[in-house]
Structure 1
């Protein structure tokens, strides 16, 4: 028995769940693991397991950009390193805004364990595949975002049953760092790409105003990984509470478009352009104070940055981590990126890709 397994058993014993049946769930691209717990009475819960030592440290709010970069990727990008206290504190924030997140039954943040409510397996992506009409689910997800943008009370420090957690801004350092994954990892996946010092300087200059805009307009909380594989359909609930949210521990203050383009320009599944347009219309109807034209310009620019980031993440997963299945998602990301590069205001980034990334490798 591993030391970690012994810790799991001890935590479950302390939570009164020593007799629960444990069924591991398939892993994803993270270092977290989950088990479904079934109690002797038939109740179903989830064990979340995130060993704190499995990740580089999260960002200390006092760190400079140089200190963040030296500390590693989580500090640079302002990721939570999967910390349980982040999950619990963000869950409190979202529930306070009237949204559906799993109830936390037991927690030991220092050891990296929590037992949470089991929302079941009805991910948006799966129920749509099984024949549920997509539009009502996506419109409910948009309504949930609007409620979050309108109702979340956002202090500098969030509180939860696992302890306090800072609510940091998704700033220019984090945004630029995300975009930089493209130039760092795509050449390792495709040796035909070779970005020299001049190309890298051009890259930084092209994205700098977009990253600065993202920081300057970061006024709402963002789930940050808001898509059909992280939303669970809860039809027994009403309104936007039918949208069960998971995997939100990396929440930050960000531009309000961030979760929208994550949802509507999904890396893992196609969202029809007509549905994207209807969903955006619905967001503006829910948020009448938002100026549509500049918002959509920001939406396209930050979506393009995110798509460059995701292409870099997928390249890293394939080239470094030996996970070739992520290659199947890359053509979709290229299509989204290509479309956003054609929008007004994207001339500098579009020119960079025209000079440095041949069309034939954009697959």
Structure 2
């Protein structure tokens, strides 16, 4: 395969150039260096301006020309962008400008060197027509192609004139953008594919590449009276959904949790657990969620030695985990959403009761003890949940499900809390070490504390507590 891809894109008007700017905005990643090449008046600044405004989600976002300042930084955008115009820079010495330093994406007009990505804009057969020749690494060109497909999907759905703003994603393999027209919607970009044999998503029973899983679980939530975004339009073959937009307000904020919102969230999941859906879930084809069991747990807990300790898998460690998971009480198995925590729970202030909680990112749902979702919320890996709030959430859940065996539930709560924290510690290290996402390291002390708390609380975990004390820093948390 060639290390460079070349694509010609025909633009017939300034409006189409602006629309292409939205495609470019969705393609940009931190560290990208994109050269904008073309004669005076070709449309380089028009394209850069459209791209920046799309990232800002504001068609009136101020984009001053960098012709005289040379470099204009936009640290408020995601990714951070540096807009550069080298037209007035004499000679080829641009070292003092710091180009290519840091992780900002760069849009460089009149570049003085060969860049990884070049967009050459040439005049077309009439005044507003242009041909944009994209020269880029194949992976970058593929991202752009995917954005172009998204634009075509929106046009088919009747949203072709709407503005598109890329949304910040977490650790998700999917992409999202807010689509603003007469009303708002959210575009989900989830390519359909079959995971490679032996790949982690396949072994961990994740729904990567399976849009049917998202739709089926969403229908189950709505059937239970809960709020999951309605599907406005879908392309099941290419992997695009246009969804109802729940806004940006979540059950936690930048400075901490909102305990009253967490309380409504635990009441919502209790209601879902009280009325479990029949399986398999309706769909095309019907969807059978995977089972959480010792085999799945084996895959997940192996992430801790592999990534957190950077050590071989200890057979004793694996055997202890397998024994404790195999012994879990399974009488209260439910459809677990797997990632029932603050990033995926929206706050819908205009609604009432449990409808105030909007559910997101539930395609990886599995059959697991009901405690799995509760501990996912009450021991949120992304934000501190005070001990008294955790106790209140547990009390509310148990009160909402009076027939539950409290002893068995609490045993599962601590075992699954420990198992989940063990997996998350490995995942967060992997996100840093492999994927270049250091922001997850800030959560590690919190997750270590949760793991240690669960290991101390449940007698059946005592052998594992001893192992962690000997082989890691967890029990000192």
Superposed, 1:178-217 pairs within 5 Å as 178-188=300-310, 194-195=311-312, 200-214=314-328, 216-217=330-331
Are the aligned partners of 1:76 and 1:173 in contact in 2 as well (CA < 8 Å)? no
CA shift at 1:129, angstroms?
A: 3.8
The equivalent residue for 2:154 is: 12
Q: Which residue of 1 aligns with 2:184?
A: 44
Between stretches 75-84 and 239-248, larger displacement belongs to 75-84
Q: Which runs of 5+ in 1 are unaligned?
A: 58-69, 189-193
Alignment correspondent of 1:94: 221
CA contact 1:172–1:214 (8 Å) conserved in 2: no
Counterpart in the other structure of 1:251? 365
Match of 2:382 among 258, 261, 268: 268
Name the SS for the 2:268 alignment partner.
helix
The match for 2:276 among 127, 144, 152 is 152
Structure having the larger proportion of residues in helix: 1
Q: Structure 2 vs 1, CA of residues 239 and 88 (structure 1 numbering), >3 Å: closer, same or farther?
A: same
Structure 1 runs (4+) deviating above 6 angstroms are none
The higher-RCO structure (CA 8 Å, 6+ apart) is 1
Query: Residue 252 of structure 2: SS of its match in structure 1?
Result: helix
Distance 1:321 1:238, change over 3 A: same
TM-score, normalised via structure 1 length? 0.87
Q: Distance in 1 between matches of 2:215 and 2:285?
A: 8
SS in 1 for 2:232: strand
Q: Which runs of 5+ in 2 are unaligned?
A: 1-8, 10-143
Q: Answer yes or no: is the 8 Å Cα contact 1:217–1:254 preserved in 2.
A: no
Match of 1:224 among 335, 338, 344: 338
| 1:254 CA drift (Å) | 0.8
Partner of 1:172: 294
How many Å separate the matches in 1 of 2:345 and 2:388?
21
Q: CA deviation at 1:108?
A: 1.1
Q: Does 1:23 align with 2:165?
A: yes
Report the number of matched residues.
334
SS at match of 2:460: coil
2:302 partner SS: helix
| 1:357 and 2:477 aligned | no
Residue 275 and residue 359 in structure 1: after superposition, are their counterparts in 2 closer, same or farther (change >3 A)? closer
TM-score by length of 2: 0.67
Kept in 2, the 8 Å contact 1:171–1:214? The answer is no
Q: Which of 191, 206, 212 in structure 2 is aligned with 1:79?
A: 206
Contact 2:324 2:461 in 1 (8 A): no
Cα drift, residue 208 of structure 1: 1.0
Structure 1 residue 210: deviation in Å? Answer: 2.4
Contact preservation (8 Å) 2:324, 2:460: no
Residues 124-159 of structure 1 show CA distances to partners (whole Å, capped at 9, x for unaligned) of 112x848xx823211111111111111132312x22
Q: Between 174-183 and 299-308, report the one with greater CA deviation.
A: 174-183
User: Deviation per CA, 1:55-75, whole angstroms, max 9, x where unpaired?
Assistant: 725xxxxxxxxxxxx532122
